[in-house]
């Protein structure tokens, strides 16, 4: 499904008129499904295309800091100090959930229950079979097989990695001390795969596998998503309602540099691994028209893309936050004469 979307996007870009703009960006695979839908809708309405390379958050940060793209995208926000050092601003464009996906023959879709500690111990290599006592105690009504667990992880620098490890480091001191958190970590066991699509493919192909992907990839690949025990002690099912419950805790108004991570949020129905995907742009741009074209696309997405996002289980940014982004963040993006690029 992801490849089909990518192929369609490239075809529509090539069909653009000679006068149409092509916006260049690179980074996170987490928002790629909704960016693809937005790009198709935007091109149908304006003729302008989007050339977005879904290479992972680490690659997106590298490309925007090197100035090879108009915008970068990352699920791991840059700190205010990092933004200032690199003359960048960032804003959250969309929110969504990271979900554990499993392939265990005989276990029905959505039946498996996990908590953070058990998930951390699986990825530490301490729990190696699906009928381990720790998993069995969480699933007294599920007949678990004596199948070896194959953890699948992101092989490259990834914002999904950041969100997943940021959560596990909060709920397991052993995970925090032995593996830690970040876009890239040294996994002690398992199989590496490139991008969300690669993890989904590996899990699909290996009986006994477990992985973690952005929710849209789980749905589009018909993967078995485990329930998770949240901070309130409740088992919750992944979906827009539980993602929204966690996202409702976000205090963007008081987030310096819009640096905010939404894992392990309180609330009876909160999904424990929720995050925003951020757009990064330079505060002083060499090509003001290209920057303006990019901002026009993101403005169109804010105004017209909520339904497409919701259909893919993403959480659109609230109107109040969107207004704050345009007023306080986009106003900092200026051309070489100091004139703000965004004038609307």
Among 3-12, 180-189, 334-343, which is the least confidently predicted range? 3-12
Q: How confident is the prediction for the chain on average, in pLDDT?
A: 93
Q: pLDDT category, 157, cuts 50, 70, 90?
A: confident
Give the CA angle between residues 194, 169, 196 to the nearest 5°.
20
| pLDDT over 90 (residue 6) | no
DSSP-H helix ranges across the chain: 2-14, 32-46, 57-66, 80-85, 116-123, 133-138, 159-171, 173-178, 195-205, 215-220, 240-247, 288-304, 306-311, 319-324
Q: Among 329, 216, 262, 316, which Cα is nearest to 76's?
A: 262
pLDDT score recorded for residue 166: 97
Residue 344's CB is within 10 A of a number of other CB atoms, namely 8
Conformational region of residue 258, where left means phi above 0, alpha means psi within -120 to 50, and beta covers everything else: left
pLDDT score recorded for residue 343: 86
pTM recorded for the entire structure? 0.88
With tokens 């992880």, the residue in question is 153
Q: pLDDT category, 21, cuts 50, 70, 90?
A: confident
Where does CATH 3.40.190.10 sit in the chain?
A: 22-97+273-332, 98-249
Q: pLDDT tens across 191-250, in order?
A: 999 999 999 999 999 999 999 999 999 999 999 999 999 999 999 999 999 999 999 999
pLDDT score recorded for residue 98: 97
Q: pLDDT tens across 74-114, in order?
A: 999 999 999 999 999 999 999 999 999 999 999 999 999 99
Q: Give the rounded percent of residues in the chain with a pLDDT score beyond 90.
A: 90
| pLDDT over 80 (residue 287) | yes
Half-sphere exposure of 148 (CA within 13 A, CB side): 6
End-to-end Cα spacing for the chain: 36
Q: pLDDT tens across 121-150, in order?
A: 999 999 999 999 999 999 999 999 999 999
Mean pLDDT of 300-326: 95
Domain 22-97+273-332 top-level CATH class? alpha beta
Q: Collapsing DSSP states into helix, strand and coil, what is residue 96?
A: strand
Q: pLDDT category, 14, cuts 50, 70, 90?
A: very low
Q: Among 156, 246, 147, which Cα is nearest to 197's?
A: 156
| pLDDT over 60 (residue 296) | yes
Structurally, at CATH architecture level, domain 98-249 sits in 3-Layer(aba) Sandwich (3.40)
| pLDDT over 90 (residue 251) | yes
Q: pLDDT category, 15, cuts 50, 70, 90?
A: very low
| pLDDT over 80 (residue 16) | no
| pLDDT over 60 (residue 36) | yes
Q: pLDDT tens across 172-198, in order?
A: 999 999 999 999 999 999 999 999 999
pLDDT score recorded for residue 3: 35
pLDDT score recorded for residue 19: 60
């Amino acid at each position: 499904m992801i490849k089909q979307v990518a192929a369609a996007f490239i075809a529509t870009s090539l069909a653009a008129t000679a006068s149409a703009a092509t916006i260049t960006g690179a980074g996170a695979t987490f928002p790629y499904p909704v960016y693809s839908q937005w790009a198709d809708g935007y091109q149908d309405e304006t003729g302008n295309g989007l050339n977005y390379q879904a290479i992972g958050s680490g690659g997106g940060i590298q490309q925007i800091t090197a100035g090879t793209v108009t915008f970068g995208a990352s699920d791991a926000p840059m700190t205010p100090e990092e933004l200032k050092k690199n003359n960048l601003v960032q804003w959250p464009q969309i929110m969504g959930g990271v979900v554990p996906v499993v392939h265990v023959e005989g276990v029905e879709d959505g039946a498996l229950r996990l908590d953070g500690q058990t998930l951390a111990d699986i990825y530490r290599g301490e729990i190696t079979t699906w009928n381990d006592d720790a998993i069995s105690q969480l699933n007294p009504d599920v007949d678990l097989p004596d199948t070896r667990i194959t953890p699948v992880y992101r092989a490259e620098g990834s914002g999904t990695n950041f969100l997943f490890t940021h959560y596990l480091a909060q709920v397991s001191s052993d995970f925090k001390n032995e593996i830690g958190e970040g876009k890239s970590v040294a996994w002690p066991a398992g199989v590496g795969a490139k991008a969300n699509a690669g993890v989904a493919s590996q899990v699909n192909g290996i009986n006994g596998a477990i992985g973690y992907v952005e929710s849209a990839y789980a749905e589009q690949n018909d993967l078995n998503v485990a329930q998770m025990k949240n901070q309130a002690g409740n088992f919750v099912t992944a979906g827009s309602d539980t993602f929204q419950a966690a996202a409702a805790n976000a205090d963007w108004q008081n987030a310096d540099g819009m640096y905010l991570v939404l894992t392990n949020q309180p609330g009876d129905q909160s999904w424990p691994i929720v995050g925003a995907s951020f757009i990064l742009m330079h505060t002083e741009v060499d090509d003001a028209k290209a920057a303006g074209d990019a901002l026009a696309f993101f403005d169109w997405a804010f105004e017209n893309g909520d339904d497409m996002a919701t259909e893919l289980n993403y959480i659109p940014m609230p109107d109040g936050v969107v207004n704050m982004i345009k007023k306080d963040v986009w106003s900092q993006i200026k051309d070489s004469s100091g004139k703000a690029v965004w004038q609307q």
